[in-house]
Amino acid sequence: MHFNLNLSIAVALCLLPVALALAVIFRKRREQRAARPAPFKELQRRPAGEALRLKLETLDEQLAESMYGLLFFPMTIVFGLFLTRPKDSITPIIFFIASAGSSIFFGIKIYKLTHSRTNCRLGYDGERFVGEELSKLIRVGFEIYHDVPFDGFNIDHVLVGPKGVFIVETKTRSKSMDKTGDKQYQVQFDGKSLRWPWGADRHGIEQAKSNGRTLSSWLSSATGEAVWAVPILTLPGWLVQRELPSDEIYVLNPKEIYKFCASEPEKIPEAQIRRIRHQLDQKCRITIG
């Protein structure tokens, strides 16, 4: 193998500005975070979709790292090829296999991360949309709590008012196209399962029920009084046709929640509402860091 010093120096000089630019970007980003902290230490309420927002940030960082890997591993391999300038035919093949292997590895990783980010973004937008609809309930005496944290999971939304305590589980699903190219927008609820244009499932039903039981148990223990949280499963963008009623869960479009909750009779005295709100206020504070 023949070593070409001038060529290797030229390649290194070409790569140096890119490396320096990335180093400056990361350094400035850290400095800006440290130099410009928020003027407050915590939020009184977690915003809608907070857990998914944090997950989106993590996915974006992982995507950036994978993009750098996809770019720089083949560049490093090319640099090594120019540096060594092999005379045989085997070494270039080995370099090619290494480059192809790294590209496949990072390509698959980027594809999976992109797929996860698309789903995460859809869920995040759905929770924010539902949060805006739920804010209308403030005018009839409800307090709204979003992204209520528990061990290993979060409850998307909790409504507390004289008319009761409700948990709202949001499930956002893309609309499919029919044979004519029109979007399908109806889903049927038969009291037990959901029938989508592509088939039936129970996605979100058991989770909403479980979240209702969890919140009921936690609030009953925390306040010393029996509390029952009514579970609601909401499907943004879908027209819900309810074929049979269910006493365990309500499946609604977000725009139906206001009328449903506002029309309920008053069930909880003001003193108990204050105790419930106090517990949720403490649980839903979020530290700014």
What tens digit of pLDDT does each residue of 199-226 get? Answer: 899 989 999 999 999 999 999 999 999 9
What tens digit of pLDDT does each residue of 165-196 get? Answer: 999 999 999 887 666 656 678 999 998 899 99
246 token code pair: 């269910």
What tens digit of pLDDT does each residue of 122-146 get? Answer: 999 999 999 999 999 999 999 999 9
Phi and psi at residue 2, to the nearest 5°: -105, 125
219 token code pair: 């609030």
Residue 273's pLDDT is what?
94
Contact between residue 257 and residue 134 where contact means Cβ atoms under 8 Å apart: yes
| Mean pLDDT of the chain, nearest integer | 85
Mean pLDDT of 270-289: 87
Contact between residue 174 and residue 131 where contact means Cβ atoms under 8 Å apart: no
Residue 1's pLDDT is what?
43
Cα separation, 58 vs 119, whole angstroms: 14
Mean pLDDT of 266-273: 93
Give the predicted TM-score (pTM) of the model: 0.78
User: What confidence tier does 279 reach under pLDDT thresholds 50, 70, 90?
Assistant: very high
Residue 40's pLDDT is what?
55
Residue 95's pLDDT is what?
76
What tens digit of pLDDT does each residue of 230-244 get? Answer: 999 999 999 999 887
pLDDT of 36 over the 80 cut:
no
Residue 11's pLDDT is what?
58
pLDDT of 287 over the 80 cut:
no
Cα separation, 165 vs 174, whole angstroms: 29
Cα separation, 21 vs 273, whole angstroms: 55
pLDDT of 152 over the 80 cut:
yes
The percent of residues in the chain predicted with pLDDT above 70, rounded, is 81
DSSP for the chain, please give it.
----HHHHHHHHHHHHHHHHHHHHHHHHHHHHHHHS--SSSEESSPPTTHHHHHHHHHHHHHHHHHHHHHHHHHHHHHHHHHHH--SSSHHHHHHHHHHHHHHHHHHHHHHHHHHHHHHHHHHHHHHHHHHHHHGGGGGGT-EEEEEEEETTEEEEEEEEETTEEEEEEE---PPPB-TTSPBP-EEEE-SS-EEETTEEE-TTHHHHHHHHHHHHHHHHHHHSS---EEEEEE-TT-EEEESS--SS-EEE-HHHHHHHHHTSPP-S-HHHHHHHHHHHHHHT-EE--
Higher pLDDT residue, 76 or 215?
A: 215
Cα separation, 224 vs 217, whole angstroms: 10
| Other beta carbons within 10 Å of 40 | 8
Q: Is the dihedral angle over the CA atoms 276, 277, 278, 279 positive or is it negative? A: positive
| Other beta carbons within 10 Å of 186 | 12
Higher pLDDT residue, 35 or 218?
A: 218
